[in-house]
Chains A and B, each alone.
Chain A
Amino acid sequence: MASPVVDVQDLRTHIVTRWGTIKAVDGVSFSVAAGETLGLVGESGSGKSMTCLSLVRLVPRPAARIVGGRVLLDGEDLLAKSEDEMQQIRGRKVGMILQDPMSSLNPVFSVGMQLREPVAMYHHLRGRALTVRAAELLAAVRIPSPAARLRAFPHQLSGGMRQRVVGAMAIAAPPRLLIADEPTTSLDLTIQAQYLGLLKELQERHRLAMIFVTHDLGIVARICDRVAVMYGGRIVEIGPVRAIFKSPAHPYTRALLEAIPRLGARRERLTTIEGQPPDLAKLPAGCAFAPRCAHAVDRCRVEAPGDTMLGPGHATRCWLHVPA
């Protein structure tokens, strides 16, 4: 594989609260190559979004702090950059699409004004050339009659349209890495499918490395090349989509896959995962999933497992797979 666009090594982000320190991201490592899509899957509070925000150094301050690790973007460590340097990297090198299209555009400016702002910032364009480029971006995200839409205000657009505009802003540079944090969660299914198609298309055109955060394994199967399953701030299993769907190794991954309803399946009841997502302030000493795991043994409760390689690029953190 070519050298990765982004290489995250042992990333740690802690949140200090009244109830103790939450290890929201606890030693996460992964890499994404150009043109590749990594799915980041897990329950709410598993650390997916915090991982993404850590990559662009926008964790909510002052409570949250990145306390360790490295984030190499084209070989340069973003965690070692100054805030001014980060501002040059955000948007230009790393684009991001957030979940809620209803609030991700500024309500008092037209689409054109909002789209021209980053374009002017990245490309130093002005006047006519700037407007043309903005219209091109809208056309690139398949918005019909883009020149006219530049004059529209956010409230005049549907959720799907707005999310396209946000997409257009995210690829304005275009960046090297695109982070999509549940971008389709609030869209209807048909719009969702179109949007995923669009993201794929943009990714191919610009050879973007993409991190796609979701809790929908259906989407993962459709657009991701590799997937990382997060639980309690750690990646418990990572590997090629095909390998993970065919032979999930970690009990949590297995449980997630079994919880997907399938048409025509004989099973009468959906399998659910017993228990609650872990309280991140009081994580057990061992494996975070141990309290809910049907296969947990004594060792799981006292000692956290390390990575075990299961195949090419397929690793898990589970004692069950560690040869004794």
Chain B
Amino acid sequence: MAADPAGGTLTLPEAPTRPAAGARGRRLPLLPIGIIATFIVVAALAPLLSPASPYEQSLRHRFTPPAWEDGGAWAHPLGTDRLGRDMLARIMYGARVSLAAGVLTVLLASAFGAAVGLVAGYYGGRVDAVLMRMTDATMSFPVILLALILAVTVGPSFFNVVLAIAVILWARYARVIRGEVLTLMELDFIAQARIAGAGAGRIITRHLAPNTLNTLVVLVTLQIGYVIIVEASLSFLGAGIPPPTPAWGSMIAEGRDFVTSAWWVSLLPGLAILLVVLAFNLLGDWLRDTLDPKLRQL
């Protein structure tokens, strides 16, 4: 150690105090969670909470502005659309469609995609090559186009929308999970499991799958927002949820001819989409940072 020329006491740099436990990224993101929870409650309890039926038309009250605008009334807090249907009720019921489509699609796609990724990563070689080429092919196919084809040939419906998106979306899960599995396969605990006499099924379900769960949860959360947007786009194009079922995308479409005179018909469902998607993305980002900082590229 260097001698202190002044002969004075040696001052040590102050020991760093422990940083506030996980200062960054650990606090629960209350805002996104709150928004998502609100929309889930509203969607689940729409029949109870809704002030009116989302289907009941009243041409005399068409284009009633929201309550706070001139000519608005508290009978329709968010106004009415072109057929005089209550906007608030339609947005509430629309949440059911968007959330259900988002969650169902992502669950289907992630289950299938993860299974493909696990198998491809575990077996490697030819199995991997075939599965990954299928994945590449799938990823190069536009979701919207597939949904339009389905809508034209089979007719638009909720399940066709879910199917069309899931059939394309799984590829992303397959690719990410396969990458994860390739890393895991190099670790000794997989070798150790084999040495202990574990077969392919046991290694995949007991050792590989649980270790990819973090990644899967992050990806699922981030993708729900994406799926909601895709579903809204399809509904906007008329290839999604068929009317009169209220869906945010088709509500925007219906109002787009009247934006100058009745802005609320398009803007309010748009705002709902924005809020939900933003909330899911924020939650996904937070999960990613908290569970595994390695996943930055997702």
Contacts and interface: CB of A to CB of B under 8 A. Distances in A.
Nearest to A118: B196
B26 interface: no
Contact of A90 (B197, B211, B213): B197
Contacts of B213: 108
B189 A90 contact: no
A106 B195 contact: no
A96 B188 contact: no
A28 to B, nearest CB: 20
B107 to A, nearest CB: 21
A152 interface: no
Chain A CB within 10 Å, residue with most, of B194, B207, B211: B194
Contacts of B125: 61-62
A253 to B, nearest CB: 30
B189 A104 contact: yes
Interface in B171-194: 187-189, 191-194
Chain B CB within 10 Å, residue with most, of A89, A91, A121: A91
Contacts of A95: 195-196
B118 to A, nearest CB: 15
Contacts of B197: 87-92, 118, 121-122
A100 interface: yes
Interface residues of B, number: 18
A5 interface: no
A103 B187 contact: yes
Contact of A98 (B191, B207, B210): B191
A98 B188 CA distance: 7
A88 B199 CA distance: 10
A169 B30 CA distance: 43
Contacts of B189: 103-107
Chain A CB within 10 Å, residue with most, of B187, B189, B195, B198: B195
B188 A100 contact: yes
Contacts, number: 68
Across the A-B interface, the 6 shortest Cβ-Cβ residue pairs: A91-B197, A104-B188, A91-B196, A90-B197, A103-B187, A96-B195
B191 A58 contact: yes
A214 B280 CA distance: 52
A99 interface: yes
A58 B184 CA distance: 17
A91 B197 CA distance: 5
A98 B196 CA distance: 12
A105 B194 CA distance: 12
Contacts of B210: 106, 108-109
A199 interface: no
A282 B272 CA distance: 68
Interface in B237-264: none
Given A106-B207, A106-B211, A109-B210, A58 B188 contact: no
A56 interface: yes
A168 to B, nearest CB: 11
A94 B192 CA distance: 12
Contacts of B193: 106
Nearest to A93: B197
Interface in A43-60: 56, 58
A166 interface: yes
A76 interface: no
Interface in A68-115: 87-92, 94-96, 98-100, 103-109
A222 to B, nearest CB: 25
A303 interface: no
Nearest to B214: A108
Contacts of B192: 96, 98, 104-105, 166, 169
B195 A58 contact: yes
Contacts of B206: 106, 117
Given A106-B207, A106-B211, A109-B210, A169 B196 contact: yes
